[in-house]
Amino acid sequence: MEMGAGTFHTATTLRALGPDPWNAAFVQPCRRPTDGRYGENPNRLQHYYQYQVILKPSPPNIQQLYLDSLTAIGIDPMLHDIRFVEDDWESPTLGAWGLGWEVWCDGMEVTQFTYFQQMGGFDCKPVAGELTYGLERLAMYIQGVDSIYDLDYNGNGVSYGDIFLDNEKQMSEWNFEIANTETLFDLFNKAVGECENCLEAKLPIPAYEQAIKASHVFNLLQARGVISVQERASYMGRVRDLAKGSCEAYMVKNGWAA
Amino acid sequence: MADFLLELLSEEIPARMQAKARVDLERLFVAQLSDAGLKADAVTVYSTPRRLALIAKDLPAQTEAVSEEAKGPPEGAPDQAVDGFCRKNGVNRDQLEVRDVKGRPTLFAVINKPGRDTKDVLSEAIPAIIKAFPWPKSMRWGDASVSTESLRWVRPLSGIVAILGDDLVECEIDGVTSGYETVGHRFHHEGMITIGNAGDYAEKLRACHVLLDQAEREAIVREGAAKAASDGDLELVADEGLVIENAGLTEWPVPLLGGFDSAFLDVPEEVIQLTARVNQKYFICRDKSGKLAPNFVCTANIDASDGGKAIVAGNEKVLAARLSDAKFFWELDQKTALEDHAKKLSNIVFHEKLGTVADKVERVVKLAEWLASLEGTGLHRANPEQTQLAARLCKADLVTEMVGEFPELQGLMGGYYAEKEGLPEAVSNAIRDHYKPVGQGDDVPTDPVTVAVSLADKLDTLLCFFVINEKPTGSKDPFALRRAALGIATTVISNTLRLPICKILEHHYDLVFNDVKAADLAAKKAANPGEDSMQAFGHVGEKPATKLPKEILGFFADRLKVQQREAGVRHDLIDAVFALGGEDDLVRLLARVKALQAFVETLDGENLLAGYKRASNILKKENAEQSDAKPFSYTPEKAEKALIDALDAAQSNVTAAIEAEEFEKAMTALADLRAPIDQFFEDVTVNDSDEDKRTARLGLLARFRSAVHQVADFSKIEG
């Protein structure tokens, strides 16, 4: 499924709700249409990978676990400058916020580190710690290359650029210039309708997936520049209502009180 | 006497919060001590990214013992009353003492509060301080966070060191217990450090690569960055905000010099500086000729094993990517003419009750053009076509990518893009500078086109928000109207512009009103036809078209008082001139106030003011506010006659001088009244038994008062 970040995945958003412990790690392909640079920027892409880790409740040694993971993949903290720089996280579309940092490696943000405080408008009880690693950026450090496109993809002569450069060019063009906006508006409305349909049937997981679809289509519409500032707030409000509604249904389905 | 050390160890505290956290820690600690009757000789607070610390010198080992007495009921009072008294004071009946109070045996309780161990006071104070700590944002974490009532801190709190003398101060809060142990630098030191006391704390940390004192880290950043630049034959652009921020991000700061591709220097300098500063917290550098150099200084948090080579290389990569993005925006924005960017302003809401930014621009265009056409104001020097064009394009950069990324570059980017388009210099200057002056000390526009657009923009904003009744109240000024008014006043005065502000606002009123109505209508979608939308904003009585400009003028008077305070202009004198009403030319007003101030500070002025107050008091007491110029039915006394003559002369002289805007001359003319009014009070009885004389003399005083009021309302003058 297309989504802007690993945070959107059901294994993060929905599992952050309720009292049950949850520890998960997975690779999440991400799409952020407005970040497209037609393959011309060495480290900004509209499609990239995150390594998403969620630890609930947040363990007391979570920072050390994280730093050990960097060492484990070959980043020497006596050679590189690792820093925790304030970056509070807020997702208006998920009705969620948390406090944490962006972790810098030599001035580059390589990980987003967040203690979730609220999700879907509900207090997180207990709080989950989320670690979102930027895989390409970390790989650049480890391989010592200046551009994502120069990353060695398989150790056998295939570069990241071989696989994704053309993808970035074409997708940037489509996101910014070609995508049929009528179709997109239609897709948005259909996802909204289907989400509501699922909510009515008390199926929070598929409902939430439709909310994610709507969110991505909204991002595409933004990239096409067809949503005015006034409309923007109202579209975001609609997506937020869907996401919150799904979270609420998930809480209810599991019998958890807010 | 013993020194006390407190360290609150946590995960990384945001740099921007550390300064206030130190102040708060000291304040809360001192308050806790003083509640217990304790006082430290000196309290010093420190912060690093991972710890807040406090050292208090020379605390006594115990609080002082206190003995208090409470007076109870008389001896022999009912048991209930005596028991109640005992309960309240925590004593037994047999501990009560009987004393004589005015001949009556009365029960007394003596309550001895023994001194408490300071250690015990501290072990209660520490959790209290932690619970009360006012972080701007705080969070829950870990197992305890199953409850929303769990401990909150800025980031997870991981340890407490609390040592009085050499003794541990035991305390516990939400599973975090105090101890002797803390940690050193994240990467330079593994394992725990054991602290002995307040005396060895800083040095033990230093040995583990933690510089406790923020001032020391700041000095290293400040001087180290300057040195890194000069080692590269460059000069650092000093930035104290960055010094403090970098010191708040590091426990062991190491400034390092890096560079970037000089091809990025095509991008405006301000953009490069912002990118480096805001996104990366780097200093920028200039070469010997003062030009921006393709270099930066970053601050690492480690003494890297390779001397920082890898760190510099990494940071260079990041900045290159950031600048590459900025260059992308810079080039992309230029592909669209400002005129076309401006079209998108109709998508941006200026205010829900005022329509879009495009609507605002339309009004600013019309007002700026009209201002530039006003003869004799000093603004007619602005070229009308250029004024119109600049006003039309002044907000266009709001929709550019660059301003989207860096909102603080508004105006500046528009100016650059206008220059690149080859628009006249006056136009690009006006686009760039029309937001100015933004605060006291900011440059004030002088170019006529810029001034016209800047004034039109701010006057429109001011009137708009007054029309929709969104005026500043108390400390709240969400639309920065005070700043706008101050900007207008400063621009008008420093350019000596003769603008009739009320007249201008009255002229502009209809345009604003129409847009407000349109926005209102659009909002209501004609839901309540027939409702007078202006009533909805609370405008009743006098027509808002004339009432609001007067109100705004009063708003200007207040701003002017603040602005002129530094120049030593008295606020009461500004009030005295404003109170006359009708003066909306700020330049003339200020000239009059200054002349008045010079006058009231002379002996003549002081005496005249005294005479004025005496005359006013008599008039008020006699309730004789009118000055009917009746012919005299008797022969006036000598002093009366002298005053009449002086008034005849003064009235015409003052009027003539004021019309000629010769305010000093007007004051001199007024000064001529001083001797006659003094003599009048000396020789003449106002409250004469002859009704005719009394009426005539009151009339004379009223005439005197209105003569003085030609210059200013002296009743507003203090002293």
Which amino acid, one-letter code, is at B513?
F
pLDDT tens digit sequence for B116-174: 999 999 999 999 999 999 999 999 999 999 999 999 999 999 999 999 999 999 999 99
Cβ neighbours of B177 in A, within 8 Å: none
Mutation target for B interface from A106, A110, A116, A142: give the one with most B CBs within 10 A.
A106
Determine the distance in angstroms separating the CA of A90 from the nearest CA of chain B, rounded to an integer: 13
> Do B145 and A57 lie within an 8 Å CB cutoff?
yes
Enter the DSSP assignment of A6.
Answer: G
Cβ neighbours of A48 in B, within 8 Å: none
pLDDT tens digit sequence for B214-242: 999 999 999 999 999 999 999 999 999 99
> Do B324 and A42 lie within an 8 Å CB cutoff?
yes
pLDDT band at B64 (very low <50, low <70, confident <90, very high): confident
User: How far, CA to CA in Å, does A175 sit from each of A42, B207, B670?
Assistant: 19, 55, 77
Which of B249, B253, B187 lies closest to A85 in space, CA to CA? B249
pLDDT tens digit sequence for B80-98: 888 898 888 888 888 888 8
* B315 at interface of A, judged by CB pairs closer than 8 A: yes
The tokens for B533 are: 């939308």
Chain A residue at shortest CA distance from B357: A229
The tokens for B484 are: 């706008």
pLDDT tens digit sequence for B546-601: 788 888 988 998 888 888 888 889 999 999 998 888 788 999 999 999 999 999 98
pLDDT band at B544 (very low <50, low <70, confident <90, very high): confident
Determine the distance in angstroms separating the CA of A197 from the nearest CA of chain B, rounded to an integer: 31
* B634 at interface of A, judged by CB pairs closer than 8 A: no
Does pTM surpass 0.80? no
Cβ neighbours of B15 in A, within 8 Å: 86
Mutation target for B interface from A64, A78, A86, A148: give the one with most B CBs within 10 A.
A86
Cβ neighbours of B282 in A, within 8 Å: 107
Q: Are A237 and A258 in contact (CB under 8 A)?
A: no
Residue B526 has pLDDT above 50, yes or no: no
Determine the distance in angstroms separating the CA of A195 from the nearest CA of chain B, rounded to an integer: 29
User: How far, CA to CA in Å, does B220 sit from each of A175, A213, B236, B397, B581?
Assistant: 47, 51, 14, 40, 59
pLDDT value of position A256: 94
Residue B541 has pLDDT above 80, yes or no: no
Q: Which of B14, B318, B324 sits opposite A107 (nearest CB)?
A: B318
What span, in angstroms and rounded, lies between the C-alpha atoms of A224 and A233? 16
SS3 of chain B: helix, strand, coil, percent, to 5 = 55, 15, 30
Residue with tokens 């920072």: A63
Q: Which of A37, A58, A81 sits opposite B141 (nearest CB)?
A: A58
Cα radius of gyration rounded to whole Å, chain B: 37
Determine the distance in angstroms separating the CA of B292 from the nearest CA of chain A, rounded to an integer: 21
Residue B553 sits at φ, ψ, to 5 deg, of: -60, -40
Q: Report the pLDDT averaged over residues A190-211.
A: 97
Q: Which of B139, B306, B348 sits opposite A117 (nearest CB)?
A: B139
> Three-state DSSP class for B501?
helix
Chain A residue at shortest CA distance from B136: A99
What span, in angstroms and rounded, lies between the C-alpha atoms of B616 and B491? 38
> Do A41 and B15 lie within an 8 Å CB cutoff?
no
Which amino acid, one-letter code, is at A158?
V
pLDDT tens digit sequence for B371-390: 999 888 888 888 999 999 99
pLDDT tens digit sequence for B168-214: 999 999 999 999 999 999 999 999 999 999 999 999 999 999 999 99
Chain B residue at shortest CA distance from A123: B148
Q: Are B674 and B541 in contact (CB under 8 A)?
A: no
Mutation target for B interface from A63, A68, A127: give the one with most B CBs within 10 A.
A127
Mean pLDDT of chain B: 90
pLDDT tens digit sequence for B420-476: 999 999 999 999 999 999 877 789 999 999 999 999 999 999 999 998 888 888 888
> Do A81 and B304 lie within an 8 Å CB cutoff?
yes
Residue B635 has pLDDT above 90, yes or no: no
Determine the distance in angstroms separating the CA of A75 from the nearest CA of chain B, rounded to an integer: 11
Residue B529 has pLDDT above 50, yes or no: no
pLDDT value of position B542: 57
Q: Which of A41, A80, A86 sits opposite B311 (nearest CB)?
A: A80
pLDDT value of position B540: 47
pLDDT value of position B625: 61
DSSP string, B207-223: HTT----HHHHHHHHHH
**Does ipTM top 0.90?**
yes
Determine the distance in angstroms separating the CA of B462 from the nearest CA of chain A, rounded to an integer: 23
* B487 at interface of A, judged by CB pairs closer than 8 A: no
pLDDT value of position A28: 97
What span, in angstroms and rounded, lies between the C-alpha atoms of B158 and B173? 11
Cβ neighbours of A57 in B, within 8 Å: 141-143, 145-146
Determine the distance in angstroms separating the CA of B313 from the nearest CA of chain A, rounded to an integer: 8
Enter the DSSP assignment of B354.
Answer: T
> Three-state DSSP class for B511?
helix
Chain B residue at shortest CA distance from A258: B148
> Do A88 and B137 lie within an 8 Å CB cutoff?
yes
Residue B102 has pLDDT above 90, yes or no: no
Determine the distance in angstroms separating the CA of B280 from the nearest CA of chain A, rounded to an integer: 6
Looking at per-residue confidence, does B249 or B40 come out higher?
B249
Cβ neighbours of A58 in B, within 8 Å: 141-142, 145, 156
Which amino acid, one-letter code, is at B524?
K
* B616 at interface of A, judged by CB pairs closer than 8 A: no
Q: Are A58 and A129 in contact (CB under 8 A)?
A: yes
In total, the C-beta contacts within 8 angstroms joining chain A to chain B are 136
Determine the distance in angstroms separating the CA of A57 from the nearest CA of chain B, rounded to an integer: 5
Q: Which of B140, B302, B317 sits opposite A117 (nearest CB)?
A: B140
Find residues 165-204 of chain B whose CB sits inside 8 Å of chain A: 186-188
What span, in angstroms and rounded, lies between the C-alpha atoms of B441 and B429? 19
Chain A residue at shortest CA distance from B297: A107
* B348 at interface of A, judged by CB pairs closer than 8 A: yes
Cβ neighbours of A63 in B, within 8 Å: 11
Indicate the angle between helix axes A204-223 and A181-200, nearest 10 degrees.
160
